[in-house]
Structure 1
Amino acid sequence: MRQKIVHVTEALGGGVLHCVVLLANRQAAAGDDVVVLHSVRKDTPLNATLNKLFDPRVRRRVVEMQTAIGVRDLSSLGRLFVELFRERPDIVHLHSSKAAALGRIATRLLGLSGCTIYSPHGFAFLKEDTSALKAKLFLLIERTLHAMGGHIVACSKSEWRYARMLLSNPQRTSLVENAVKLDDFGADTTRQTREQVVVCTSARVTYQKAPWRFTQLAQRLARASNVRAVWYGDGEAEAIDRWIDREVVELSGWIAAPELRRALQQCDIFVLPSLWEGMPIALIEAQAAGLPAVASRIVGNRDVIVHGVTGFLASNDAELEHYTRRLIDDPQLRERMGTAAAKHALARFDDARLFRSYVGIYRRLLSPVHAHHSPALTRALSTEVLK
């Protein structure tokens, strides 16, 4: 059955962009009519880059949405309402907090709540850059919006547990873990012995990623001549100047996904000291590339790393340094964990699985809508979901 699917996101960069591109392109290739409504922020790639990332059959339109709550939200809501009314979608898939807020109000007004999905990619009330009072406000807003309707699809088991524990209708929640195109990674993850051990990370230089923690780690490791620290990514000049010590951390600048994956093959250890995550694509890619990882013990990270098997989870800076040094000093441990990481990622984070999971959720939402039109179609959909 050909469906019209509208993806709505305020954020079209980083992990959200990765997931939207992966899903929208798969859907378009399967014959669905796919539309992406998005705003443009500082981390949004140029239009020419987006055109290369998205399948040409995916239609994109800009609907400006501000991250901060304000009066402009009313005009954004109005524009989104008009776009959804014009498209008359079978499924509305919302990504990121602001799009989810405006989208759930608009779909409620249009009577589309029953076919609306929200993928948080990290709940706003779990962010560490807000006060406790603001976090409580975000949780209250999330509970209110969820009560209005729609289905939440968490991207990690930890995020799913929070949704079921904190929201009023836990039965309207599901889990579909993030994924990557695993055919971009080779089966051979063995690494040649080099004079220098390369410790790397991959992210935009933002507060969320705690770049000062990576810099401090690099500064402590700099005393060892056999260690090199690399940050793959870019960021605002102010953030880079404030948090990155260029004398001990090599900053690559913006790097395309294929180039990044080749670069990961030349590294030895991946470090991700984030303050909060949904389920980080960068960490999944590093594991798929056969890199043992050391990451902060938070939502998302702990859903990717098998502690002591594919890497280590650190509760503080001291543990971050301890586990990193342990991997630096033990090449056999690096190789063993790297091999386990690649096998684990290849078995678990396939993009085909992500696509099939969403097909099942979409069809479960659609089947009650179409039941009175075609009993035969309803039986076919039910059979497909049970496979």
Structure 2
Amino acid sequence: MEKIKVLHITQSVGGVETYLRQVIQNIDRSRYDLSIASCEPSLEKLCALHEVPYFHLNMSRGVNPFVDLQSIFKIRALIKKQQPQLVHLHSSKAGFVGRIGAKFAGCPSLFTPHGVSYLSFTGLKRMVFFMLELLGKRFTHKILAISQSEANRCVYEIGHKSENIHVIPNSMTIPSVPVLVPDKLGNLEGEIKIGTIGRLTAQKNPLQFVDIANGVIKGNEKVHFYFLGAGFHEDMGAEVKERVQYHGIENNFHLIGKGDSIIALNFLRQLDIFLLPSIFEGLPYALLEAMYEAVPCIVSKCDGNNDVIDNNDNGYACLVTDEFVAAITRLIKQPELAKSIGEAGKQYVINRHDIANNIKDLEKIYAEI
């Protein structure tokens, strides 16, 4: 049987990189021939590790008509040269220019937003990016959403036809035995450790994270807060440090630079509570990974988080800072409750987010398209 050639195109890393790693490691490589085009060095290393062809593409992060037009023609030329049967596009920028390039090349495409673009902005910027999504709709073949919330936005806000949208939730490898990894992080300070993983950008709402930390620390100085992922494609690092200084919690608040998957696992296994006050999400891998490690999770009520957290059952979903502080305080005071919440979260991930099951649905979608 001839292999189905799928070209993945992205500009982003983080959750997208984790997604691609899961696909590469679990898809039936005897039936599917994968390649990746991106501008990120980490993805080039990922491809080299798994013997997947990699193609370098320059794409601008913001709106840059000249560079974006160049990207469209480069993507079209790459598709014409490589002749994939399907192009799978990830994130807003690659999704926009890639859909147009694939359309011009006459190749069907599958677009995964990983969080629709306009949710990152307010005011005029939000309107501009929403209009770009409406424009992109004209060039869209099929959509693969990573959560039902993401699919709903595509249908009810952007106006895509529901029959053109598939939903497969972000998934992870569920090992048969606990994974043993070397300690690359060392011991974190504090009797009680609360943390998150992400970039210091508006999406992850780091200023509210600091405000929540302040509310908890003022009532219990044994608690330390950690943010893993600082210094990587961030634009709010200075603001976060200023807010920490304003509250006077420097001794109990820690920023840690971005690490690899082993450091992330070292980090999660030391946490007592995982905190994610994001403004929006697609469906965060960091949350799934924390839940799988049986860390009780407290999150914001936003897309992605709402798809995973059943409030008061396998975690807590909050809106305002006082709610977050109250939920954290409750779990600190009731360790048995924290343990049961963590175990419920782990079982949820095992039941619904096992890549061994969900990769079969992805293969089916690839074959159908």
Q: TM-score range by the shorter chain?
A: 0.7 to 0.9
**Which residue number corresponds to residue 98 of structure 1?**
93
Q: Give the partner amino acid of 1:296.
A: S
**Which residue number corresponds to residue 225 of structure 2?**
229
Counterparts of 1:216 and 1:144 in 2: how far apart (Å)? 38
Q: Shift of residue 28 of structure 1?
A: 6.7
Q: How does 1:33-182 map onto structure 2 within 5 Å? A: 33-40=33-40, 45=42, 50-52=44-46, 55-70=49-64, 71-112=66-107, 115-127=108-120, 130-166=121-157, 167-182=159-174
Residue 278 (str. 1) matches residue 282 (str. 2): yes
Counterparts of 1:230 and 1:100 in 2: how far apart (Å)? 33
Counterparts of 1:225 and 1:145 in 2: how far apart (Å)? 50
Q: 1:277 to 1:54 in 2, by over 3 A?
A: farther
**Which residue number corresponds to residue 199 of structure 2?**
204
Is 68-77 or 29-38 further displaced after alignment? 29-38
- Percent of counterpart pairs with the same letter? 26
Q: Give the partner amino acid of 1:93.
A: H
Q: Shift of residue 239 of structure 1?
A: 3.0
Q: Give the partner amino acid of 1:19.
A: Y
Is 290-299 or 165-174 further displaced after alignment? 165-174
Q: Give the partner amino acid of 1:109.
A: F
Say which of 328, 331, 337 aligns to 1:327.
331
Deviations 1:35-69 (A, max 9, x none): 101123xxx64x7xx42576432111111011222
Counterparts of 2:123 and 2:235 in 1: how far apart (Å)? 26
TM-score (norm 1): 0.84
**Which residue number corresponds to residue 16 of structure 2?**
16
Q: Give the partner amino acid of 2:60.
A: Q
Contact 1:206–1:235 (CA under 8 A) maintained in structure 2? no
Q: Shift of residue 325 of structure 1?
A: 1.0
Deviations 1:326-380 (A, max 9, x none): 1111101101101111111111111223311111111111xxxxxxxxxxxxxxx
Deviations 1:144-199 (A, max 9, x none): 32233410111111111111223242211110100122228739xxxxxx982211
Q: 1:325 to 1:349 in 2, by over 3 A?
A: same
**Which residue number corresponds to residue 368 of structure 2?**
364
Counterparts of 1:185 and 1:232 in 2: how far apart (Å)? 26
Q: Over aligned residue pairs, what C-alpha RMSD do you find? A: 2.3
TM-score (norm 2): 0.88
Count residues with an aligned counterpart: 349
Q: Give the partner amino acid of 2:21.
A: V
The DSSP-based 3-state class of the residue aligned with 2:6 is strand
Deviations 1:109-150 (A, max 9, x none): 1221xx3100000001222xx233332332333233223341
Q: Shift of residue 266 of structure 1?
A: 1.8
Counterparts of 2:321 and 2:25 in 1: how far apart (Å)? 39
**Which residue number corresponds to residue 186 of structure 2?**
none
Deviations 1:50-106 (A, max 9, x none): 425764321111110112222111111111111110011011100011111111111
Q: 1:361 to 1:136 in 2, by over 3 A?
A: same
**Which residue number corresponds to residue 25 of structure 1?**
25
Residue 316 (str. 1) matches residue 320 (str. 2): yes
Contact 1:185–1:261 (CA under 8 A) maintained in structure 2? no
Counterparts of 1:292 and 1:159 in 2: how far apart (Å)? 24
Q: Shift of residue 290 of structure 1?
A: 0.2
Is 320-329 or 214-223 further displaced after alignment? 214-223
**Which residue number corresponds to residue 5 of structure 1?**
6
The DSSP-based 3-state class of the residue aligned with 2:79 is helix
Counterparts of 1:260 and 1:30 in 2: how far apart (Å)? 31
Contact 2:212–2:322 (CA under 8 A) maintained in structure 1? no
The DSSP-based 3-state class of the residue aligned with 2:257 is coil
Contact 1:34–1:57 (CA under 8 A) maintained in structure 2? no
Q: Give the partner amino acid of 2:35.
A: V
Counterparts of 1:185 and 1:5 in 2: how far apart (Å)? 32
